């Protein structure tokens, strides 16, 4: 099997898997490859970097090395920890620099949006319905994940 990065004449890029290079050539010549985004059959290969596995990763996979799985699990935990740390840092910044308006968030966000009060950074809580209504009104806001408090 071979994977090609493909591009249609509209500029959409996507992957295609083929038995071999000759199979790709035959399908492309017969306009048998279509863009999954727009249906365009004018498709060609896009520039792509080859995927060359390192000797170490190849030998680990071939040997079914359990350590490779542990390394990826450790890496996943490390990444998750960094994400949580970033969220805690962001939340700390918001809580230190913005006004807490509690459950009046939607009301206060509207007042700011419509110029009824001075523009400032706020945070608080809104129901799913309130968030949907604010989004429909074009009020920009960001949802912060709720995390358990830490004792820093």
Dump pLDDT digits (tens) for 85-122: 888 888 888 999 999 999 999 999 999 999 999 999 99
For residues 106 and 53, give the distance between their C-alpha atoms in angstroms, rounded to a whole number. 51
Average pLDDT over residues 118-139: 93
Please report which confidence band the pLDDT of residue 54 belongs to, taking 50, 70 and 90 as the band edges. Answer: low
User: Edge-to-edge strand order for the sheet containing 43-45?
Assistant: 13-18, 2-8, 43-45
Residues forming beta bridges with residue 100, ordered by sequence position: 123
Q: How buried is residue 118: exposed, middle or buried, by Cβ count under 10 Å (0-12/13-18/19+)? A: exposed
């Amino acid at each position: 099997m071979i994977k090609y990065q493909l591009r249609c004449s509209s500029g959409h890029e996507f992957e295609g898997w083929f038995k071999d290079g000759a199979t790709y050539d035959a399908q492309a010549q017969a306009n048998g490859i279509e863009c999954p985004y727009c249906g365009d059959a004018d498709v060609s290969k896009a520039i792509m970097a080859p995927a060359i596995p390192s000797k170490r990763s190849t030998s680990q996979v071939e040997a079914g090395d359990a350590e490779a799985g542990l390394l990826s699990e450790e890496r996943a935990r490390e990444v998750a920890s960094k994400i949580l740390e970033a969220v805690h840092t962001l939340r700390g910044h918001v809580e230190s620099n913005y006004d807490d308006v509690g459950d009046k968030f939607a009301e206060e966000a509207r007042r700011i949006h419509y110029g009824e009060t001075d523009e400032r950074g706020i945070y608080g809580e809104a129901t799913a319905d309130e968030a949907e209504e604010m989004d429909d009104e074009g009020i920009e806001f960001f949802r912060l994940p709720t995390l358990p408090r830490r004792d820093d």
